Structure 1
Amino acid sequence: MTDRILVLGGTGWVGRRVAEAWLERGARVSVTARGGRAAPAGADLVVTDRDLPEAYDALAATEWDEIVDVSSVPAHVAQAASALGDRAAHATYISSVSVYADATRVGADERAAIVEPLGEADAYDYARAKVAAEGEAAALGARVSVIRPGLIVGPGDPTDRFGYWPARFSAAGAEAVLVPEATALRAQVIDVDDLVSFVVASGARGFDGLVDAVGPSHPLAEVVTVARDAAGHTGEVHTAPADWLERHGVAHWAGPRSLPLWLPADMPGFASRSGAAYRAAGGRTRPLAETVARVLEDERERGVARSRTSGLERAEELALIEALHAER
């Protein structure tokens, strides 16, 4: 019998990859979205607004073998669980390691404390929203798995974080690139297709656990070096201390005028989670160099010199390099 799969939010980056992976297994897949983006080839698109009471009316008559939800809006997850829970043999909620309250403890696992759930009257906070959504998904009891990925990277990544480094080294060629001083800093990612493989395999066997889906923790300097080598960069690399970057308005982690993946020194645990439960449950991670190569190919297809949502604009970077040398 063909599996019936529903991916709520199946036209976004991760949701689309999940839908495509289920399609490759021969499943019949439906995806929901507000519209505006096409469904994966072979999937049925159900256009619906999850803010509306009738959002799931067109879906509630179907018996689903698996429902996957990626939403970070607790009310959406709650309504889906209420409307479709009795129709689902199993469900998977994709959360985030951002839910953890303590970013200082290296090697922490799923038993670590999490932040308080977002209340209905509270200002939106991503981590607290994910915690609240996990609680809503838990209403399905033993028929639900909660997967908390680390930083998801790979081809098609809309956040522009991980891809900044191979793209910047590729664009710079023989010219200079600015990097943060990263002697003690770490980076921990999971390739989107490794995550998706785990999500699909877990759904297929009805896995009902809680797992941090993370890859190995690498020195940030290693990630930068692997990106540089893959891109064939031959220019100078200029290293700036953290306090200097902060004084010059360079942000950590993501967003405009940032150095992506660069974390404050007081957050060593954020990029050093255990990952033991993920591996024990069958999770796999490909080598860092393979992910970097995949991302570099994708970045070159999209344009390494394009405007990005995260990172330094090239003009900003060159101005910072000039200022760094002027002050030394």
Structure 2
Amino acid sequence: MPSALTVGGTRFIGRHTVAQLLAHDYDVTTVTRGQSDDPFADEERVSNVQGDRDDRTTLERARDEADPDVVVDCCAYHPGQVREATDVFADAGAYVYVSSGSAYAREDVPMREGETPLHDCTDEQATDDSMESYGPRKAEGDRAVFEAAADGVNAMSVRPMLVYGPHDYTERYAYWVDRVAAYDRVLVPGDGGSLLHRVYVGDVARALRIVAEEGEAGEAYNVADRDATTLERSLTLAADALDTDVEVVHASEHDLARADLTPEEFVLYTPSPALVSTEKLHALGWDSTPLDVAVSETALSHRERGLTGGEYDPGREREVEVIDALTE
């Protein structure tokens, strides 16, 4: 039976990746700090090595215990971590780095691997933890993968767009699901056509496995829903899943200013399209979950777990002020 090792594996992308690997007959070893509940604690085919991924001896111990055919690095947020991991796992059958669509420096429509430029990354950004440096850090991690591949390591990169799905601890989409569940009228910036490419977490996990098995060393692969959808349509699909009705109320920047709101205060809103091509990954045999199924599973999971995305709430009273002005 093949062996896989995941750096991470208990929270979101890692959790779904472990489940995907188990479903395809891998024995799995996870490397975690032990700070989150382990959903695989009772799974016979999953073993765990606890320790800090920044401690090289932890990675070496996990490598020696697992002797992995596949390594999936779900929690490398600094390029130095990628360089360390590609060195430690240089002899593994495949190393796959979870990068991000944020690595792209320009929003071509769509953004394509090998064509759309990546962010530069300064030495200061490479060790920073702010969101401002997130894209540059992920881009530099990609370059670390390319360098390792040039040295003979079977290393590859997968670039997800914004990930949603069950067990999403960021609760970004949960905010909109809660709005749909709680209110008949939901305020949306612009005309509802905001296009921020998203990707269902189960499809990310499947992409990571397929790239490990079928990908080419030194290559990066975008992953996103094959059916890119607007913010408004995603709310309609969530309402269908929850068996409720929702009236989407569109508000311009001027309309929002009535209540001292701005479009940027609404999570998952983007003023210009942010889309990637997925043809390269699709050519390996990958496809995405039908959008209605992905949104339904996500919405029902968020409601079952009581997730509200409250930290993104711009203030319902201010929303109602705008809604009433636009619908009276």
User: Is this a same-fold pair by TM over 0.5?
Assistant: yes
2:199 corresponds to which of 187, 190, 193? 190
Cα–Cα, structure 1 residues 206 and 113, in superposed 2: closer, same or farther, change >3 Å?
closer
**Alignment-derived partner of residue 52 in structure 1:** 55
How do 1:96-245 residues align onto structure 2 when only pairs under 5 Å count? 96-103=100-107, 105-110=108-113, 111-120=115-124, 123-124=128-129, 125-141=133-149, 143-172=154-183, 175-182=184-191, 184-205=193-214, 207-208=216-217, 209-215=219-225, 216-234=227-245, 236-245=247-256
Query: In structure 2, what residue type is equivalent to 1:201?
Result: I
Deviation sequence 1:78-127 (CA, Å, 0-9, x none) = 212222213x1111111111111112x32231111111024256644100
Query: In structure 1, what residue type is equivalent to 2:306?
Result: G
The answer to whether structure 1 residue 263 and structure 2 residue 270 are counterparts is yes
Query: In structure 1, what residue type is equivalent to 2:285?
Result: G
Query: In structure 1, what residue type is equivalent to 2:221?
Result: V
Following the alignment from structure 2 to structure 1, what is the Cα–Cα distance between the partners of residues 119 and 60? 33
Cα–Cα, structure 1 residues 242 and 232, in superposed 2: closer, same or farther, change >3 Å?
farther
- Of all paired residues, the percent bearing the same amino acid is 25
Query: In structure 1, what residue type is equivalent to 2:38?
Result: A
Deviation sequence 1:189-218 (CA, Å, 0-9, x none) = 111111211211222345433211112322
- More helix as a share of residues: 2
Determine if contact 1:7/1:19 at 8 Å carries over to the other structure: yes
Cα–Cα, structure 1 residues 184 and 39, in superposed 2: closer, same or farther, change >3 Å?
closer
Query: In structure 2, what residue type is equivalent to 1:47?
Result: Q
The answer to whether structure 1 residue 79 and structure 2 residue 84 are counterparts is yes
Runs of 4+ in 1 over 6 A off after TM superposition: none
Deviation sequence 1:5-39 (CA, Å, 0-9, x none) = 11011223101211121122222211111112243
Query: In structure 1, what residue type is equivalent to 2:318?
Result: A
Count of aligned positions: 310
Displacement of 1:221: 2.5
Cα–Cα, structure 1 residues 138 and 170, in superposed 2: closer, same or farther, change >3 Å?
same
Deviation sequence 1:205-261 (CA, Å, 0-9, x none) = 454332111123223322222223333334654322134436724463xxxxx3222
How do 1:281-320 residues align onto structure 2 when only pairs under 5 Å count? 281-303=284-306, 306=308, 308-312=310-314, 316-320=315-319
| TM, length-normalised to structure 1 | 0.85
Deviation sequence 1:304-324 (CA, Å, 0-9, x none) = 5x4534344xxx123322255
1:89 corresponds to which of 90, 93, 97? 93
Cα–Cα, structure 1 residues 307 and 9, in superposed 2: closer, same or farther, change >3 Å?
same
Following the alignment from structure 1 to structure 2, what is the Cα–Cα distance between the partners of residues 53 and 279? 35
Determine if contact 2:210/2:284 at 8 Å carries over to the other structure: no
The answer to whether structure 1 residue 64 and structure 2 residue 68 are counterparts is yes
**Alignment-derived partner of residue 260 in structure 2:** 248
| TM, length-normalised to structure 2 | 0.85
The answer to whether structure 1 residue 28 and structure 2 residue 33 are counterparts is no
Structure 2, unpaired ranges of 5+: none
SS class of match (1:59) = helix
Following the alignment from structure 2 to structure 1, what is the Cα–Cα distance between the partners of residues 121 and 39? 33
